[in-house]
Amino acid sequence: MNPRIKSVEPTSDYKLKVYFSNREIGIFDVTPYLGIGVFKELTDRNYFNQAKVFDGTVVWPHEQDFCPDTIYNESIRHIESG
């Protein structure tokens, strides 16, 4: 099982900076998903910025979410220093 997400910071370019339970930090690019199905609403920056962590993954108020394994596998990651 891949690590789960502890915290998230949305960026201005539709990416998510995610902090994983194994101390890795990843950048997950949401742009390939924008405008598709339930993710259409994420094109609104104010709405996109409402991303939060729930049950180990990233969610938005109207129940959009990504599988935590997708976020982990598709993120560019590095180890948290300190």
Q: Which domain holds residue 56?
A: 5-77
Model pTM score: 0.92
Say if 82 falls within a structural domain. Answer: no
Q: What is the CATH number of the domain that holds 38?
A: 3.30.2020.10
Say if 23 falls within a structural domain. Answer: yes
Say if 63 falls within a structural domain. Answer: yes
Measuring CA to CA, how many Å separate 38 from each of 19, 41, 60, 62?
24, 7, 11, 9
Say if 39 falls within a structural domain. Answer: yes
pLDDT of res. 55: 95
Say if 66 falls within a structural domain. Answer: yes
pLDDT of res. 82: 60
pLDDT of res. 79: 82
Q: What is the pLDDT of residues 16-29, one digit of tens each?
A: 999 999 999 999 99
- How many domains does the structure of the chain reveal? 1
- DSSP per position, 6-55: EEEEE-TTSEEEEEETTSEEEEEE-GGGTTSGGGGGGGSHHHHTT-EEET
